[in-house]
Amino acid sequence: MAVRQIRMFADPALRAVAEPVTTFDRSLRELVRSLTATMRAGPGRAGLAAPQIGVPLRVLAFDVDGRAGHLVNPRLELSGRTILADEACLSAPGMWWPRERAFSAVARGRDMYGKPVTIRAIGMLARVLQHEADHLDGVLFIDGLPAEDQRRFLAAIP
């Protein structure tokens, strides 16, 4: 399980749409393990998507409030209820910004062996799953901020 370097916010790879996983083999299991190890080694530890370590595949890992795991090819169903809360990203360390997200979500996908997985999440776990799923579509969390907040965020990046 190698801890990998996390791509920083300005890296164009973070804007690419990740490819669906079609083969559930040893290399996928190694990717999930590296993704999880990298997430846990970083500050924050809540979640990490494969594009953040330079792998353009639809895989994410999470570890929130005692619930840890991963999803391959996730699809999210979001509630209509939203909540505003501070959000951060391992690709922009030390930057926190208030962001509105759905309060709850149902995430469906597969595990590293291809077995179907369903995760019902509320609060912080729902936020993390939305944030990481966005990474798989080349969407960064500042994209959901008002224009003025986006400008302030970008100006604050060291």
Q: Answer yes or no: is pLDDT of 9 > 80.
A: yes
Give domain status of residue 132, yes or no. yes
Q: Provide the pLDDT confidence category of residue 5 given band limits of 50, 70 and 90.
A: very high
Give domain status of residue 35, yes or no. yes
Q: Which of 30, 77, 100, 132 is catalytic?
A: 132
Q: Answer yes or no: is pLDDT of 144 > 90.
A: no
pLDDT: is 98 or 62 the higher one? 62
d(CA 34, CA 31): 5
Give domain status of residue 5, yes or no. no
Counting residues of the chain whose pLDDT is more than 90, the rounded percentage is 76
Structural domain harbouring 24: 12-156
According to the model, what pLDDT value does residue 42 have?
A: 78
Give domain status of residue 6, yes or no. no
Which CATH number does the domain housing residue 129 bear? 3.90.45.10
Q: Answer yes or no: is pLDDT of 118 > 90.
A: yes
Number of independent structural domains in the chain: 1
According to the model, what pLDDT value does residue 101 have?
A: 96
Q: Provide the pLDDT confidence category of residue 25 given band limits of 50, 70 and 90.
A: very high
pLDDT tens string 45-92: 899 999 999 999 999 999 998 999 999 999 999 999 999 999 999 998
Check if 132 is active-site: yes
According to the model, what pLDDT value does residue 132 have?
A: 98
Give domain status of residue 81, yes or no. yes
Per DSSP bridges, beta strands 96-102 and 104-110 are unpaired
Residue pair 131/47 in contact by the 8 Å Cβ criterion: yes
Joined tokens for residue 35: 């993704």
* Pairs from 24-31 (Cβ < 8 Å, separation ≥ 24): 24/72, 24/110, 24/112, 24/113, 24/114, 28/57, 28/59, 28/72, 28/112, 29/112, 29/113, 30/1, 31/55, 31/57, 31/59
Give domain status of residue 1, yes or no. no
Give domain status of residue 3, yes or no. no
Give domain status of residue 4, yes or no. no
